[in-house]
Structure 1
Amino acid sequence: MGRRTALAEPETPPHPVDELLPAGRMSAVALQHVASMYAGVAAPPLIIGAAAGLTAAQLTTLLAASLFIAGIATLLQTLGLWNVGSRLPFVNGVSFATVSPILAVVAAKKDAALPLIFGSTIVAGLFCFLLAPVFCRLVRFFPPVVSGTVITLIGISLLPVAGNWAQGGSPFAPGYGSPANLGLAGLTLLAVLVFNRFLHGFPQRISILLGLLVGTLAAIPLGKVDAKALGSLPLFELPHPFAFGAPRFEVAAIISMLVVMVVSMTESTADMIALGEVVERPADDRTIAGGLRADGLATAFGGVFNGFICSAFAQNIGLVALTRIRSRFVVALAGVFLIVMGLVPVVGALVSLVPQPVLGGAGVVLFGSVAVAGIRTLGRADLSTGSNAIIVAVSLAFGIFPIAFPDFYHAFPEQVATVLQSGISVGSLLAVTLNLVFNHLGRGRDVPPASAPKELINAPGRVDEPA
Structure 2
Amino acid sequence: MAPFKVRRNRSNRDGAPADVHPVDEVLPPTRMLAFGVQHIAAMYAGVVAPPLIVGEAIGLPPLQMTLLIGASLLTAGLATMLQSLGVWKIGARLPFVNGVTFGSVAPMLAIVAQQGQHNPLSVIYGSVLIAGMLAFVAAPYFSRLVRFFPPVVNGTVITLIGLSLMPVGIKWIAGQNPEAPDYAAPEKIALGALTFALVLLFNRFLKGFWNRIALLIGLVVGTLIAWPVGLIDTTTFESAPVFNVPTPFELGTPTFSLTATISICIVMLVAMMESTADMIALGEIVDRPVDEKTIAAGLRADGAGSALSAVFGGFTCSAFAQNIGLVALTRVRSRFVVATAGGVLVLLGLFPVVGAVVSLVPQPVLGGAALVLFGSVATSGIRTLGKSDLGDPFNSLIVAGSLGIGMIPVVAPQFYEHFPAAMRTVLDSGISTGCLAALLLNLLFNAMRKQRRESEPTVGGDTVAVVGTAPGEVPQHRASAQGSDATK
Report the TM-score, using the length of structure 1 for normalisation.
0.71
Q: Is the 8 A contact 2:325 2:373 kept in 1?
A: no
Distance in structure 1 (CA, Å) of the matches to 2:216 and 2:470? 41
Q: What's the counterpart of residue 84 of structure 1? A: 90
Distance verdict in 2 for CA 1:218–1:48, change over 3 Å = farther
Quick one: which amino acid aligns to residue 94 of structure 1? Answer: N
Aligned counterpart for 2:41 among listed residues 39, 42, 58: 39
1:465 equivalent in structure 2: none
Q: Is the 8 A contact 1:77 1:294 kept in 2?
A: yes
Q: Which of the numbers 148, 154, 157 marks the counterpart of 1:150?
A: 157
Contact 1:70 1:92 in 2 (8 A): no
Q: Name the stretch that deviates more: 303-312 or 282-291.
A: 282-291
2:383 is matched with: 376
User: Which residue in 1 is equivalent to 2:276?
Assistant: 265
Name the stretch that deviates more: 381-390 or 406-415. Answer: 406-415
Query: Aligned to 1:434, what secondary structure does the other structure show?
Result: helix
Alpha carbons 1:243, 1:306 under 8 Å: kept: no
Mapped partners of 2:296, 2:392: distance in 1? 33
User: CA shift at 1:432, angstroms?
Assistant: 2.1
Mark the CA change 1:371 to 1:61 in structure 2 (over 3 Å): closer, same or farther.
farther
Where does structure 2 lack aligned partners over 5 or more consecutive residues? Answer: 1-18, 115-119, 452-468, 474-488
Residues 253 and 418, structure 1, Cα contact 8 Å, conserved in 2: no
Residue 410 of structure 2: aligned partner: 403
Distance 1:197 1:117, change over 3 A: farther
Matching of residue 306 in structure 1 with residue 314 in structure 2: yes
In the alignment, does 2:78 pair up with 1:72?
yes
* Kept in 1: contact 2:329–2:373 (CA 8 A): no
User: Which blocks of at least 5 consecutive residues in structure 1 are unaligned?
Assistant: 1-14, 450-467
1:332-343 equivalences under 5 Å are 335-343=342-350
Aligned-residue offset at 1:241:
5.9
Question: CA–CA distance in 2 between the matches of 1:186 and 1:329?
Answer: 32
Q: Following TM superposition, by how much is the alpha carbon of 1:311 offset from its aligned partner in structure 2, in angstroms?
A: 4.2
**Per-residue deviation, residues 318-343 of structure 1 (Å, max 9, x unmatched):** 999979xx8x9897666544422331
Name the counterpart of 1:207: 214
Contact map agreement 2:39 2:341 (CA 8 A) in 1: no
Structure 2 counterparts to residues 50-449 of structure 1, below 5 A: 64-65=70-71, 67-76=73-82, 80-85=86-91, 90-94=94-98, 98-99=101-102, 101=103, 122=129, 125-239=132-246, 249=260, 251=262, 254-268=265-279, 289-304=296-311, 305-311=313-319, 335-441=342-448, 443=450, 445=469, 447=471
CA offset digits 1:117-137 (Å, max 9, x no partner): 877765664344223334555
Provide the C-alpha distance between the structure 1 equivalents of 2:439 and 2:338, rounded to a whole number of angstroms.
34
Q: 1:441 & 1:435 partners in 2: Cα distance? A: 9
- Whether the aligned pair in 1 keeps the contact of 2:48 and 2:73 (CA below 8 Å) is no
Inter-CA distance 30–102: structure 2 relative to 1 (3 Å threshold): same
Following the alignment from structure 1 to structure 2, what is the Cα–Cα distance between the partners of residues 427 and 267? 13
8 Å Cα contact 1:66-1:308 kept in structure 2: no
Q: Distance in 1 between matches of 2:292 and 2:51?
A: 37
Change (3 A) 1:30 1:124: farther
Q: Which amino acid aligns with 1:302?
A: S
Q: Distance in 1 between matches of 2:160 and 2:291?
A: 30
Partner Cα separation in structure 2 for residue 446 and residue 154 of structure 1: 23
Q: State whether residues 41 and 66 of structure 1, in contact with CA within 8 Å, keep that contact through their aligned partners in structure 2.
A: no
Which has the larger Rg?
Answer: 2
The letter for the 1-side match of 2:162 is G
Change (3 A) 1:301 1:414: same
Displacement after TM superposition at 1:139 (Å) = 1.6
Question: Residues 95 and 337 of structure 2 are in contact (CA less than 8 Å); yes or no, is this contact kept in structure 1?
Answer: no
Match of 1:3 in 2: none
- Secondary structure of the residue aligned to 2:169 is helix
Distance change in 2, residues 1:290/1:151 (3 Å): closer
Contact 1:126–1:296, Cα closer than 8 Å, also in 2: yes
Q: Distance between the aligned counterparts of 2:137 and 2:213, measured in 1? A: 36
> Scaled by the length of structure 2, what TM-score is found?
0.68
- The separation in 1 between residues aligned to 2:285 and 2:167, in whole angstroms, is 33
- Given that residues 61 and 348 in structure 1 are in contact (C-alpha distance below 8 angstroms), is that contact kept between their aligned partners in structure 2? no
Question: Which amino acid is the alignment partner of residue 317 of structure 2?
Answer: I
| Residue of structure 2 in register with 1:6 after alignment | none
- The answer as to whether partners of 1:268 and 1:292 remain within 8 angstroms in 2 is no
Question: Counterparts of 1:67 and 1:333 in 2: how far apart (Å)?
Answer: 14
One-letter amino acid matched to 1:237? N
Distance 2:441 2:371 in 1: 31
Partner amino acid for 1:39? A
| Displacement of 1:194 | 2.2
**8 Å contact from structure 1 (residues 69, 93) kept in 2:** no
Letter in 1 for 2:39: M
Q: Call closer, same or farther: CA 1:288–1:417 in 2, change over 3 Å.
A: closer
Amino acid at match of 2:214: S
Equivalent position SS for 1:440: helix
> Following TM superposition, by how much is the alpha carbon of 1:345 offset from its aligned partner in structure 2, in angstroms?
0.8
- Sequence identity percentage: 44
CA 16–215 in structure 1, closer or farther in 2 if over 3 Å, else same: closer
Distance, in Å, in 2 between the alignment partners of 1:186 and 1:284 is: 39
Shift of 1:301: 2.1
| Residues 266-311 of structure 1 deviation map (CA, whole Å, 9 limit, x = unaligned) | 5436757997x88xxx998766644543343123323553254344
AA partner of residue 272 (structure 2): M
CA distance in 2, matches of 1:368, 1:270: 14
Judged with a 3 Å threshold, the aligned counterparts in structure 2 of structure 1 residues 332 and 392 are, in CA distance, closer, same or farther, namely closer
Q: Distance in 2 between matches of 1:330 and 1:154?
A: 23
* Cα distance in 2 between the residues matched to 1:69 and 1:429: 30
